[in-house]
């Protein structure tokens, strides 16, 4: 998923959004179907293709948002609107996927996913219009775009953004890795509880993201980030204290996580809008760069978690506290850098 981001969005700045987004959607659909009929030796290869093709959906969608957003408020609104799909997927898919798999097998989920995405591809062909300004197409080559891709790591006003976005990804991925075993092995609860909690997470995320399409986009983004990271630290520390005294149950595990999901649902549109405003005419490049950077950092961080921490509630809480402290440091650094560069009108 990380390396699949690099080319799609960057290339879409040169040749256009529609053709590449449509190609990526169909590639994902076809690879999802082929997984169900090939031998096990080829499944990993197809999963790699499946993951790489998702890069088109993420990075190019950010480019489309940049193309269609003239102001910071409009950018926040459009990011939040697009992110509603992520929250709705959390609400609907864990339960529906579990029901389908329990009736049939894992293959049925892949059949349905492949068919659904194929229909989305048809909609892209018929309804999607090219959002990229034709005057900007073919303005750069892939070589120069990739050179700009590397230069973005040297822009202090920008590079903090994908690092901040990596934090919730790391948080969610770690939680999803540990939560099922805590529920079933440590608390001796039914796996059905996992589905309920994930659905509540989705509802929480969807509600607060929707709030960004209303009054929240009018607030100063740095103030929003400061207040939310403060809440992130508070909830993380409280959860750690409960774990240290050995007092925890499904509510103590779940409620702070639900609050943290809400915190990131509020922050995400403000953070991503800042990155897109800096490089508004290269939205695909931003989508590629953000996607590659935060997915790579997520993979490395979760791997390190598995090496350093134990699979228990206390270590998960300690890791969350560390993430919260890193977040407030990054937000403080972003504030300081932006004031120094005098670009506060963009955030």
pLDDT along the chain (347 residues), means of 10: 88 93 96 92 90 90 91 87 85 81 85 94 94 86 88 92 92 87 87 85 89 73 87 93 89 90 90 88 92 92 90 90 94 84 50
- 344 in any annotated domain: no
Alpha helices in the chain (DSSP H): 2-15, 17-35, 40-67, 72-103, 106-127, 142-151, 156-181, 192-211, 221-244, 250-278, 283-308, 313-341
pLDDT score of 345 = 46
Which tokens in the block code for residue 136? 């900007």
Expressed in angstroms, the distance from the first to the final Cα of the chain is 28
- 345 in any annotated domain: no
Give the CA angle between residues 26, 32, 35 to the nearest 5°.
Answer: 140
pLDDT score of 216 = 67
pLDDT score of 39 = 86
- 133 in any annotated domain: no
- 134 in any annotated domain: no
pLDDT score of 180 = 87
Could you tell me the CA-to-CA distances from 140 to 21, 24, 143, 157, 239 in Å, in that order? 19, 22, 8, 23, 50
Nearest-angstrom CA–CA distance, 170 and 309:
14
pLDDT score of 217 = 66
pLDDT score of 318 = 94
The distance from CA 100 to its chain's CA centroid, rounded to whole angstroms, is 25
Nearest-angstrom CA–CA distance, 297 and 163:
8
In CATH, what number is assigned to the domain containing residue 106?
A: 1.20.1250.20
pLDDT score of 172 = 87
Provide the domain count of the chain. 1
Nearest-angstrom CA–CA distance, 326 and 192:
34
Nearest-angstrom CA–CA distance, 109 and 100:
7
Domain region containing 229: 2-128+142-339
- 135 in any annotated domain: no
Nearest-angstrom CA–CA distance, 32 and 47:
8
The distance from CA 211 to its chain's CA centroid, rounded to whole angstroms, is 18
pLDDT score of 102 = 79
pLDDT score of 347 = 44
């Amino acid at each position: 998923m990380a390396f699949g981001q690099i080319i799609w969005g960057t290339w879409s700045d040169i040749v256009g959004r529609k053709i590449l987004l449509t190609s990526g959607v169909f590639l994902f659909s076809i690879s999802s179907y082929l997984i169900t009929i090939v031998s096990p030796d080829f499944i990993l290869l197809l999963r790699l293709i499946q993951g790489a093709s998702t890069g088109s959906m993420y990075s190019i969608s950010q480019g489309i948002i940049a193309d269609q957003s003239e102001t910071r408020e409009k950018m926040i609104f459009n990011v939040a609107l697009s992110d509603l799909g992520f929250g709705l997927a959390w609400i609907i898919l864990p339960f529906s996927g579990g029901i389908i798999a329990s009736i049939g097998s894992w293959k049925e989920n892949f059949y349905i996913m492949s068919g659904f995405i194929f229909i989305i591809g048809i909609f892209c062909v018929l309804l999607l219009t090219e959002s990229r300004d034709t005057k900007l197409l073919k303005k750069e080559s892939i070589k120069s775009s990739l050179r700009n891709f590397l230069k973005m790591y040297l822009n202090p006003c920008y590079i903090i953004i994908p690092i901040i976005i990596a934090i919730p990804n790391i948080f969610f991925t770690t939680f999803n890795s540990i939560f099922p075993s805590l529920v079933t092995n440590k608390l001796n609860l039914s796996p059905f509880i996992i589905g309920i909690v994930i659905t509540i997470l989705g509802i929480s995320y969807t509600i607060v993201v929707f709030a960004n399409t209303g009054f929240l986009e009018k607030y100063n983004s740095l103030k929003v980030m400061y207040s939310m990271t403060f809440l992130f630290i508070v909830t993380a520390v409280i959860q750690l204290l409960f774990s240290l005294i050995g007092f925890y149950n499904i509510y103590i595990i779940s409620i702070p996580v639900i609050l943290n999901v809400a915190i990131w649902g509020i922050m995400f549109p403000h953070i991503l809008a800042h990155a897109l405003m800096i490089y508004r005419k290269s939205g695909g490049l931003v989508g590629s760069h953000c996607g590659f950077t935060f997915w790579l950092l997520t993979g490395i961080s979760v791997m390190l978690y598995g090496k350093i921490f134990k699979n228990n509630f206390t270590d998960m809480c300690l890791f969350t506290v560390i993430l919260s402290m890193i977040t407030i440091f990054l937000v403080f650094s972003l504030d300081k850098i932006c004031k120094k560069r005098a670009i506060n009108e963009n955030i």
